[in-house]
Amino acid sequence: MNMPVDEALNPSGSPTGLGHVAGDAVDISHGTILYLDDISVSFDGFKALNRLTLSVDVGELRCVIGPNGAGKTTMMDVITGSTRPDDGTAFFGQNIDLTRLTEPEIAHAGIGRKFQKPTVFENHTVFENLELAMKADKRVFASLRAQRTAAQLDRIVSTLETIDLLAQADLPAGLLSHGQKQWLEIGMLLMQEPQLLLLDEPVAGMTDEETAKTAQLLHSLAGQRSIVVVEHDMEFINEIAATVTVLHEGSVLAEGSMDVVQSDERVIEVYLGR
Ligand SMILES: Nc1ncnc2c1ncn2[C@@H]1O[C@H](COP(=O)(O)OP(=O)(O)O)[C@@H](O)[C@H]1O
Ligand SMILES: [Mg+2]
């Protein structure tokens, strides 16, 4: 058998060339990147998610808010495969059934998740952190080009520009401010070229200036990829002015622009207060 290396590693023949070894590329031809339908998750009889239905468009920046215990983190756990729903369906694009994939397969399919606490390698430089993130990408290994190529160097530099850490490239990550570490971690996710980014409270603990800069960063990232961000900071959500979904007791309580959501009586009652 004399198959070209790329084809042998990628028998499904995905159009990206580098190849999604675990399966096909996500099909976004219908304009929807994420579709959760009637998802329920119970923990010892308690419904953390209760028939949750939510869909996110390609390129959208979606904010999810809601009181503590509303099910926001559980929703992200379902999307990334760390929690299995008891009921309902979860699709990435038209074709990828998230409930049938393992966590690494879901990451590999193109969903990146940032947890609240930054987890950068403090003893490595900013540059090295991005390089390590790229090498952790199975698609890069699959291409059998373990050495850094000019194209890969370009990607690292352009990511450094995106997250505004070019001047800090050679600094150990441990010396960055809290906000800069959060941006670096977003940069590390970007190195894997996710189509959908999930961010859990990205501006928690940031200064006002850092928060404003993060809003700008997310704006610049949306469009080419889709972003779902869970946040409590209403000023931040106002700044990114995206569609807001309010979760309460495991279901969608309200959805729409910030104005619509903020003037919704039920939202005021359970979340915003009077
Ligand atoms: N692994 C678990 N075991 C038991 N209960 C859980 C577990 N994970 C979450 N819960 C419960 O589910 C509800 C929703 O939690 P969570 O998704 O973390 O809410 P949020 O992120 O909106 O604050 C909470 O009442 C929480 O205590
Ligand atoms: Mg949470």
3-state secondary structure at position 36:
strand
Residue 202: pLDDT over 60: yes
How far, in Å, from the CA of 112 to the mean position of ligand 1?
A: 21
Q: Is 66 in the pocket of ligand 1 (CB under 6 A)?
A: yes
| Atom from ligand 1 closest to the CA of residue 250 | 14
* Number of structural domains in the chain: 1
* CATH code, 244: 3.40.50.300
Q: Smallest Cα–Cα separation from 239: which of 207, 202, 211, 200? A: 211
How far, in Å, from the CA of 43 to the mean position of ligand 1?
A: 8
The domain in which residue 15 lies consists of: 5-272
Cβ contact 182:164 at 8 Å: no
pLDDT digits (tens, 9 = 90+) for 86-142: 999 999 999 999 999 999 999 999 999 998 777 899 999 999 999 999 877 665 555
List, as ranges, residues with CB under 5 A of the ion ligand 2.
72-73
272/208 Cα distance (integer angstroms): 20
Bridge partners (DSSP) of residue 55 are 35
195/94 Cα distance (integer angstroms): 14
How far, in Å, from the CA of 48 to the mean position of ligand 1?
A: 6
What value does the mean pLDDT take over residues 58-73? 94
Residue 23 banded pLDDT, cuts 50, 70, 90: low
Q: Is 69 in the pocket of ligand 1 (CB under 6 A)?
A: yes
